[in-house]
Amino acid sequence: MSRPAPLTPPRAVLFDAYGTLFDVYSVALLAEQLFPGQGQALSVLWRDKQIEYTRLVTTCNEGAHYQPFWELTRAALVFAIKKLVAHADGASATGLFDEKVEQLMNQYRSLSAFPENRSVLQTLKERCIPTGILSNGDASMLQLAVKSSGLHGLLDHIISVDPVRKYKTAPQAYALGESTLGLPASKILFVSSNAWDSLGATWHGYQTLWVNRYQLPFEELGTQPTRTGTTLRDVFDFFPPSSS
Amino acid sequence: MSRPAPLTPPRAVLFDAYGTLFDVYSVALLAEQLFPGQGQALSVLWRDKQIEYTRLVTTCNEGAHYQPFWELTRAALVFAIKKLVAHADGASATGLFDEKVEQLMNQYRSLSAFPENRSVLQTLKERCIPTGILSNGDASMLQLAVKSSGLHGLLDHIISVDPVRKYKTAPQAYALGESTLGLPASKILFVSSNAWDSLGATWHGYQTLWVNRYQLPFEELGTQPTRTGTTLRDVFDFFPPSSS
């Protein structure tokens, strides 16, 4: 939507996972059951804090404080509950607190996928376009999320940043997409619903699609994604119409 | 409060600026006048986004996308207004938008200082303890903020991260405190009201005081600050009682 078509169609497509393929806010319903009146706020703060923690451990001391995404996700949840709920009622001292944390973490293992994912990935497969995930999630989280959301077999590569112990938007994390696919970033389309991720990938040299699912403004840092769309289906704007 | 006294009293004290010496939420009143009903939310989102932008430009590509703090502050404000206000009413297309941005940026030049600052700095000066600011702010912002808040002459060093083109919590930013003071971090007390900053400084090796002004939980990343307090006055817990 936001720019003319890039000069050459990408030779592969990488997707961000959390927020892009999987709905990180689909935990809000359970959060609301466990913490009435706070479900929505909790799911938002949990997500924000999770992202913040990936940045803190990446920026500090060259990976000395790295923790896998699953652990950061749990830490962010504990923080979010303490800030929004438990600080008020002292529940953090009870066994109930740990139990609620575990229930929400279990829910996080099998987030809902967005409805259009399956058909988009299926079509890319039929058109013989290599696909993959490039995610902050650790390998076991990603495998489980792909399986539980019914996307198993529709993705050629599942790439976690875990081996480089740096989270996106670190260059070392984005470079894993290039090395895995054996292509320069300029020939790969990177798809994310997270504006910061679209920005980081654009800075890294990828062609980018920002899937703006929530009608948000883009980051104001002087760089725009290659294109902006509203669903995963906008991937096809990067490719010439199928001859079939 | 949170731990026994450290083994050796610090030989100097460095303060974070924004949130610690200067009240970043003191812009909320003007924000409310300019955007009725959104002042508080705007001041919070502005601050959150400002911090996020420092991290994005620090993590990506070794400083290639660095922008001075003043520019990031403006970018964060523009984003915050677009997200909270202008997206709804289309005001971003009008000259009024730019005018409101400038009014708020002007306010940011001379943020309110917290009331106890002056007497704490005065007492440290009387006790011949070297002091300074170590801040993400650029030099001209910091000079103006110190002057307009009446703290001029009470700080020995005003250190901006700008020369290293990386924002806290990057090690290169924290190292500026050590090189400027000629002391190892372990002999310096670093004071911040920002939990993430207290965490980063603790990881870097500083003695740390987290001034928890808003009764928040600390970060859940496995490290605690040396001590936690509620005002700048808690600095004195790090020093033996004055013999005077």
What digits encode the pLDDT tens for the residues A197-231? 999 999 999 999 999 999 999 999 999 999 999 99
pLDDT attached to residue A53: 97
* Nearest neighbour of A169 by CB, restricted to B60, B67, B79: B60
pLDDT score recorded for residue A93: 54
Instruction: Count Cβ atoms below 10 Å from residue B199 Cβ, excluding itself.
Output: 24
Q: What is the per-residue DSSP string for A7-35?
A: SS--SEEEE--BTTTB-GGGGHHHHHHHS
> Which two tokens mark B11?
């030989």
Q: Are residues B119 and B229 in the same domain?
A: yes
Q: Dump strand ranges (E) for A1-102.
A: 12-15
Among candidate residues B94, B109, B124, the one where a domain is terminated = B109
User: Residue B1: inside a domain, yes or no?
Assistant: no
Give pLDDT tens digits for A84-100: 986 555 555 566 889 99
Q: Which residues of chain A does B48 touch, with a Cβ-Cβ cutoff of 8 Å? A: 48
Instruction: Tally the domains of chain B.
Output: 2
Q: Say whether residue B63 is in contact with chain A using an 8 A CB cutoff.
A: no
What is the residue type of B26?
Answer: S
User: Does some domain include residue B95?
Assistant: yes
From the list B56, B169, B215, which residue is nearest A60 (CB)?
B169
Q: Which residue has the tokens 């702010």?
A: B137
Give the pLDDT score at B240: 86
Q: Which of B59, B220, B242 is nearest to A45 (CA)?
A: B220
B176 and B200 belong to one structural domain: yes
Q: Choose among B62, B203, B220: nearest Cβ to A60.
A: B203
Give me the catalytic one of B16, B138, B162, B197: B16
Specify the DSSP element, H or E, that contains B210.
strand B207-211
> Across the beta sheet with A131-135, what order do the strands follow?
A157-160, A131-135, A12-15, A188-192, A207-211, A227-229
- Residue A211: give the domain boundaries: 12-23+112-243
Strands laid side by side in the B188-192 sheet = B157-160, B131-135, B12-15, B188-192, B207-211, B227-229
Task: Report in angstroms the alpha-carbon separations of B232 from A31, A194, A213, B15.
Answer: 37, 37, 43, 9
CB-CB neighbors (< 8 A) of B75 in chain A: 219-222
pLDDT for A240 equals 86
Distance CA B231, CA B117 (A): 9
Q: Would the CB atoms of B82 and A217 count as touching at under 8 Å?
A: yes
> For chain A, what's the residue count?
244
Sorted by sequence, the CB contacts under 8 Å of residue A209 that are 6+ apart come out as A189, A190, A191, A192, A198, A225, A226, A227, A228, A229, A234, A235, A237, A238
pLDDT confidence of residue A146: 95
Whether B33 is in a domain gets the answer yes
Q: Say whether both A87 and A170 belong to one domain.
A: no
- So what's the pLDDT on residue B178? 98
Residue B233 vs residues B23, B123, B124, B146, B162: alpha-carbon distances, Å: 16, 10, 10, 18, 29
Q: Is residue A4 part of a domain?
A: no
Quote helix, strand, coil % in chain B, to nearest 5.
50, 10, 35
Q: Which residues of B touch A55 (CB under 8 A)?
A: 55, 59
Give the residue ranges of DSSP H helices in chain B.
28-34, 39-59, 69-81, 87-89, 95-109, 117-126, 139-148, 171-181, 195-204
Averaged pLDDT for residues A67-89 = 89
| E strand or H helix that includes residue A157 | strand A157-160
Answer yes or no: do B121 and B220 share one domain.
yes
User: What whole-number distance in Å separates Cα of residue B225 and Cα of residue B204?
Assistant: 11
Residues B137 and B197: beta-carbon distance below 8 Å: no
C-alpha–C-alpha distance, residues B158 and B168, integer Å:
15
Residue A142 has pLDDT above 80, yes or no: yes
Chain B contact present for A93, CB below 8 A: no
Which CATH number goes with the domain that contains A91?
1.10.150.240
Which residues of chain A are within 8 Å of residue B65 when distances are taken between CB atoms?
A: 203, 221, 223
Question: For A126-149, what is the mean pLDDT?
Answer: 96
Give the pLDDT of residue B91. Answer: 53
- State pLDDT tens for residues A37-71: 999 999 999 999 999 999 999 988 667 899 999 99
The per-residue pLDDT for A120 is: 97
Nearest CA to B16 out of B156, B121, B168 is that of B168
More confident residue, A1 or B67: B67
Q: Give which of B59, B97, B218 to mutate to test A binding, by max A Cβ within 10 Å.
A: B59
Contact B59 A58 (CB under 8 A): yes
Q: A64 to chain B: nearest residue by CA?
A: B203
Question: What global pTM score does this model have?
Answer: 0.93
Please state the rounded mean pLDDT for residues A139-153: 94
CA angle A108, A110, A116 (to 5 degrees): 115
Name the nearest CA neighbour of A54 among A184, A174, A204, A168: A168
Residues counted in chain B: 244
In angstroms, the first-to-last Cα distance of chain B is 24
In the beta sheet, which residues pair with residue B209? B191, B227
Averaged confidence pLDDT in chain A: 92
Cβ contact (<8 Å) for A56 and B83? Answer: no
Q: Are residues A58 and A167 in the same domain?
A: no
* A136 and A212 inside one domain: yes
**A219–B62 CB contact, under 8 Å:** no
Quick one: pLDDT at residue A94?
Answer: 60
Residues B77 and B19 in one domain: no
Cα dihedral A92, A98, A103, A105 sign: positive
Q: Which of residues 94-153 of A touch B (CB under 8 A)?
A: none
Query: How far does the CA of residue A219 sit from the closest CA of chain B (Å)?
Result: 7
Query: Which residue out of B44, B48, B61 would a mutagenesis test of the A interface target, given it has the greatest number of A Cβ atoms within 10 Å?
Result: B61
Cβ A59–B56 below 8 Å, yes or no? no
How far off is chain A from B192, nearest CA to CA, in Å? Answer: 16
CA A223 to chain centre: 20
Is B101 inside a domain boundary?
yes
Identify all chain B residues contacting A201, using CB atoms and an 8 Å cutoff: none
Instruction: Using alpha carbons, select from B85, B108, B109, B107 the residue that is nearest to residue B97.
Output: B85
Statement to judge: residues B91 and B116 lie in one domain: no
**Given A109, A129, A161, which residue is the final one in a domain?**
A109
Distance from CA of A55 to the nearest CA of B (A): 7
- Report ipTM (2 d.p.): 0.92
Residues B123 and B238 in one domain: yes
Q: What is the pLDDT of residue B136?
A: 98
b/e burial code for range A52-75 (CB count within 10 A of at least 16 → b): bbbbbbbbbbeeebbbbbbbbbbb
Residue B90 lies in a domain: yes
Nearest to A171 among B60, B204, B222 (CB): B60
Whether residues B164 and B141 fall in one domain = yes
Q: Which residues in chain B land under pLDDT 50? A: 1, 244
Contact A27, A107 (CB under 8 A): yes
Any catalytic annotation for residue A156?
A: no
Contact B196 A56 (CB under 8 A): yes
Residue B92 is predicted with a pLDDT of: 53
d(CA B58, CA B64): 9
Residue B2: inside a domain = no
**Same domain, yes or no: B132 and B234:** yes
Task: Determine, yes or no, domain membership for A210.
Answer: yes
* CATH number for A201: 3.40.50.1000
Size of interface A-B (CB pairs under 8 A): 96
Domain boundary (B52, B82, B109) is at B109
Widest CA span of chain A, in angstroms? 63
Containing H/E element for A42? helix A39-59
Q: Considering only CB atoms, which chain B residues are within 8 Å of A87?
A: 215, 217
Specify whether B83 is located in the same domain as B202: no
Q: Tell me how many helices (H) and strands (E) chain A has.
A: 9, 6
Are B75 and A216 in contact (CB < 8 Å)?
no
Mean of pLDDT values over A104-111:
94
